[in-house]
Amino acid sequence: MIRKKKILKLESAKHIGGHRLVLTFSDGKEQTVDFGHFLENSRHPEIRKFLNPKNFKSFTIENGDLMWGDFDLIFPIMDLYENKLDHGEVAVSKPRISSAAR
């Protein structure tokens, strides 16, 4: 017997204040996701523009995905489902000063 795998999709998204959305998925799971930390830590101006409440609230659901603009900002469905937007910060190493330069 061949079993069809169900594709996980986003069914609905509701803004609940700040940069938080309540997301409901096709399997019934509901997840509150705060995008604030992700947006604040981005250095890219095209992402940081969504810190503006008006821009942030302009999200849509297209084919089961949460997106802003014309793919200006979109997240992998599993990141939203697991509420894991930050995948670790890139460590910026400080330049080493040689002992001769001290």
Instruction: Please write the tens of the pLDDT for every residue from 67-87.
Output: 999 999 999 999 999 999 976
Which pLDDT value is given to residue 49? 96
* 102 vs 2: which has the higher pLDDT: 2
Residue 52, CB half-sphere, CA atoms under 13 Å: how many? 9
For 41-67, the pLDDT digits (tens) are 999 999 999 999 999 999 999 999 999
Domains of the chain: 10-81 (3.30.2020.10)
Cβ atoms within 10 Å of 58's Cβ, excluding its own: 14
Backbone angles phi, psi at 92, to 5 degrees: -105, 115
Inter-residue contact 81 to 31 (CB < 8 Å)? yes
